[in-house]
Amino acid sequence: MSSHPEPRLTDVQRTVLAITLVPLFMSLLSVSIVNVVLPSIETGLGASASGLQWVLTGYTLAFGVVLVAAGRAGDLFGRAPMFVVGVALFGLSSLVAGFAPNEVVLNIARVTMGIGSGFLNPQTVGLIQQYFQGAQRGRAFGMFGAVVGISVAIGPVLGGVLVALLGADWGWRSSFLINVPFAVVSILFAVRSLPASAWRALPDADAASPDTPGAPAGAEEPAPGPAAPPPAAPADRAPARRLPDLDPVGMALLALGTLAVMIPFLQFSAGPWVWSILGLGVLLVLAWVRWEAAYKRRGRAPMVDLRLFATRSFANGSLLIALYFMGMTSVWVVGAIFLQSGLGRTALEAGLVGLPAAILSAFSSGIAGRHVFRIGRPIVLGGIAILLVGLVTSILVVVLHDRAGTSIWWLLLTLSFVGLGQGSTISPNQTLTLADVPLRYAGSAGGVLQTGQRIGTAIGLALITAVFFAVQGQAGWTAAFVAAYLVIIAIVVASGVVGIVDQVQARRAGRRPGA
């Protein structure tokens, strides 16, 4: 390992991070902030149970469905234009949601917000891949991971603060309206400051024969800063311009398959007909796999090159983080329900429990991002071990509160370990998972990675909240909390097993993880 100090970020790199991470934060905040303002929406709009359900699920469904297609569109048309489109959709629909007169308008706006989020998120990943490499990429994804971790934990805090300061009606409305000024400023700065190379596709981004996934991505990437323009072709050999290969059938199959897979897990009162959709979703995903393989054999450029899944780091990292999100997203949901409904705490109090975790998540994410290429996969496994300590000790706090009257505020300490572990897991895994992905597929690969996270989140929330409420009805709130956290622990342990397998496979191959 070189002893030279890490190169400082260039002005272009700082610009890319500043412009892209703020909308990313707001888009992910919109997932978690709603959890604590739902009662206020119910009161303010007289919303039905199904209407409230779609306030949650409409955003998540739309977000997950468009990720891969949006990522590929960024690869083909330029990541900056797709980023601006996503931010504009997100900001405009947030404005509509904030002034929604009824639940129908609110839910239409939430779906559109999800589409905007689905467009801007993979562009952020693609731009980091495009303008950062080596240790600097680890540092950038460290910041990316900090944004993810903080947005999940700080959402309930912010929602509680807004309701406490502005009242029930304007509290929930402001949870959407707060996105608008950030969206406007982000668009203005993106148009003015993102480098010219971000506004166009990479050379041959839609080539039928991309570089083989698995080759080190750095070999085809530009140096930090603006991407170098391709060499000019001789005048008598000017290349003919080709229309980008959008693979519309592949896009439609994957979008419909993702939608059908997610719906059963986002329906709180699902009947048999809903679960039959899951089987249809699996069939559509299998059809998408066959289509992409056939499309590639015909010499076309598929939306996702399936050879990516033969790359150890990408396949293992994608599975690890999908399992991680399946478990860990529910930590804050279960905690908020337990504290508010079970112990009668306010929304603000329930949100504040996660504040130290959010701060430590940002701290550990930055450190982990700086050292991920030196340590490799063990840094992810260490993060998982730390957050397991936090989960186990949180169970002890709740049990002792119930049996011995111990202060429930000890959760501030135990959940801090969860935040510390979270920051050491998300950003390093993102870096290692995308390390061997060719730059021209960075957007679609990032979309695949995030789609797995969204599906994992949907399945985990359905499974864990079902366990929570089933046990609560039979044995009370403390037993429900313990049961839900035990399920979370089991899922997180499974994600750790995937990380261990990846580490073993890397050693057998004689290759450092992520190298």
d(CA 153, CA 140): 20
Pull the structure tokens for residue 200: 């166009």
pLDDT tens, residue by residue, 182-236? 999 999 999 999 999 999 877 655 544 444 444 444 434 443 444 444 444 444 4
Domain residues for the domain of 494 are 11-203+303-508
Nearest partner of 514 among 427, 434, 425, judged by Cα: 434
Q: What is the mean pLDDT of residues 22-28?
A: 92
Q: Tell me if 3 is assigned to some domain.
A: no
Using an 8 Å Cβ cutoff, are 247 and 302 in contact? yes
Residue 224 in domain = no
- Is residue 86 in a domain? yes
Tell me, what's the pLDDT at 270? 56
| 232 belongs to a structural domain | no
DSSP 86-141: HHHHHHHHHHHHHT-SSHHHHHHHHHHHHHHHHHHHHHHHHHHHHH--HHHHHHHH
Read off φ and ψ for residue 438, nearest 5 degrees.
-60, 145
Give me the number of domains the chain comprises.
1
**What's the whole-number mean pLDDT along residues 305-316?**
88
The tens digit of pLDDT for each residue in 385-396 reads: 999 999 999 999
Could you tell me where the beta strands, DSSP code E, fall in 437-489? Answer: none
**pLDDT surpassing 90 at residue 114:** yes
Which range in 342-351, 374-383, 478-487, 502-511 is most confidently predicted, on average pLDDT? Answer: 478-487
**342 band by pLDDT with thresholds 50, 70 and 90:** very high
User: Is there a domain that residue 295 lies in?
Assistant: no
Q: Does residue 226 form part of some domain?
A: no
- Residue 52 placed within a domain: yes
Computed over every residue of the chain, the mean pLDDT equals 85
pLDDT at 301 over 70: yes
Whole-number pLDDT of residue 239: 46
Residue 231: predicted pLDDT: 43
Does position 47 have pLDDT exceeding 70, yes or no?
Answer: yes
The CATH number that applies at residue 366 is 1.20.1250.20
CA distance 461 to 473: 18
Establish if 327 belongs to a structural domain. yes
State how far the Cα of 267 lies from the Cα of 270, in Å rounded to an integer: 5
